[in-house]
Chain A
């Protein structure tokens, strides 16, 4: 059965062009880029091309790109490097809706004696910029705020934040894992010091990412060892994946304009669901949102049950409900946004890519009202109260 994949904020399919670009480096071209011989050395040249491709996607200079193993490593590295470059400052500012790669890292730092401020968000997931401004002190070393949220798709005004933060002389990192490839990101216009990118969110394979570090920003490596990446990230390069990542960045640049089409599909899906499923609502600021993401709550039913019913039709989505989180706690993002528990448990996130089609959306629109209706028939809630 055909898979209808609407979970692209979780991961994406590897593009055919990416896989083709990688294959030689998984077979005959297995050399180590650090080797002196031509056989190994030729892969080094390919890595530098990948660096140019990645840089071009965000309008950076190639030497400002460090390849890493994933978005999480990029995030951890950025915060750690910032703390080490200003050792006398002990304060970190971030938000309550960050990805765990930043959130839990900051919590871990807080246990090691740093002070961490976790900024709240409003009902629609927006940050209160005044609160951010007043929380900056002379002791603040780094501010890490995501570009776009993985669950709600809400885009933070990082340009405005970055401009203000740089005037304060504080380092600013943004986790742009969800934004890059879906909206235009230009570091010449966006005065961030560091930015995280992940490969598998933009049709490269899992296990590769990048950290943008603006020229002139003091950097201290997180993974220590050999001289790879000019001593900024040790470890023999993941050659094939880096080459694939480069190709994926080039494709992402070309595909960016297709996101108007992705947005049309998303909007059709969203409108259709809101019309056909009563007691449903969108979570998050619909004005400032990624074009591919919609997070919808269906009251009185539980997210995991919805996902498993969708699974019967090979439709892939995700949920913020407690039962899908691996813990008993529902989504920290939706809770921070003040979404009532009843709505969080029934939340479903659909996230599209350029590979989705009208047929995909048609199938969801056909199936979903039925699923919600059936599950509500099972539920003790949400039915009209009978007259006693």
Chain B
């Protein structure tokens, strides 16, 4: 049983703005019956005031998909298309008093339907259909979409990418690709931060960066194989780590240490040396 807020339950049981609009000015359609949820959004936009005067939806999906759709229509009514586009998936979730993490993709679907509808109104192609390569074949999710959602929602784990986009939730064969995308998005950020102060790192900054890279980049990889690593100490440029779990006594421990060193050299400072405790 999902832990839905009262607002989600109420909105699901009595959704607002259900149905079709005759002669709509814009239609946005996302999802498919095969994937398990789909949303068709209809907008009526006043030409003179450039405001959304009516919004209706039809949704195939679970309670949170229906509630998110209803919330979306309530949030965008009365706004101009530009104002409406500022509504994020988080605004939809907030409107509902929050959604279970596993159901965040329902709010993302709401945002996408809006984007698609406004693109349709402006005579453009829906933004994500044309751009990007399909990463998750099961749910037809592109790399562009994953990158955007990862950045907008500050996601750092594969599990959260699945929660927000469904990517990786099917056969799971794209999990390594999602991991790569996560690394690309965040390594870029860490790298950018690392390059900026260039060798002017204070000890505290250096340790903080090392800690962050170990947490974010290295531990998840080791944990996937039942191992783990902890930062024990930093003495000047010597980083002392202690291997845990399956890494303890592993024949490949030396290789693991070398790989950690390589990553830290690449992202923090060329001078770093890594040793096991």
Contacts and interface: CB of A to CB of B under 8 A. Distances in A.
Interface of A: 300-305, 308-309, 312, 321-324, 326-330, 341-342, 345, 377-381
Contacts of B29: 380
8 contacts: A305-B61, A323-B61, A328-B36, A345-B33, A345-B36, A345-B60, A378-B15, A378-B58
Contacts of A322: 36
Interface of B: 2, 9, 12-13, 15, 18-19, 29, 33-34, 36-40, 58-63, 65-66, 102, 139, 162, 166, 169-170
B62 A302 contact: yes
B62 A304 contact: yes
Nearest to B37: A302
Return the 7 tightest CB-CB contacts between A and B, nearest first: A328-B169, A323-B62, A304-B62, A380-B58, A380-B40, A322-B36, A379-B60
Most A CB within 10 A of own CB, among B9, B58, B166:
B58
A316 to B, nearest CB: 11
Contacts of B58: 378-380
A329 B15 CA distance: 26
Contacts of B13: 309, 312
Nearest to B166: A328
Contacts of A327: 169
A381 B33 CA distance: 8
A342 B32 CA distance: 9
Given A323-B62, A378-B18, 4 more contacts: A302-B60, A305-B63, A328-B170, A379-B59
Contacts, number: 71
B61 A329 contact: no
B170 A342 contact: no
B13 to A, nearest CB: 7
A69 to B, nearest CB: 24
A309 B9 CA distance: 10
A380 B38 contact: yes
Contacts of B63: 304-305, 308
A330 B60 contact: no
Nearest to A327: B169
Nearest to B136: A328
Contact of A305 (B18, B38, B40, B66): B66
Contacts of B15: 378
Given A300-B60, A308-B12, A328-B169, A378 B33 contact: no
Contacts of B62: 302-305, 321, 323-324
Contact of B59 (A303, A326, A342, A378): A378
A155 B38 CA distance: 35
Contacts of A341: 33-34, 36
A323 B169 CA distance: 11
Nearest to A322: B36
Nearest to A330: B36
A300 B33 contact: yes
Contact of A301 (B9, B60, B139): B60
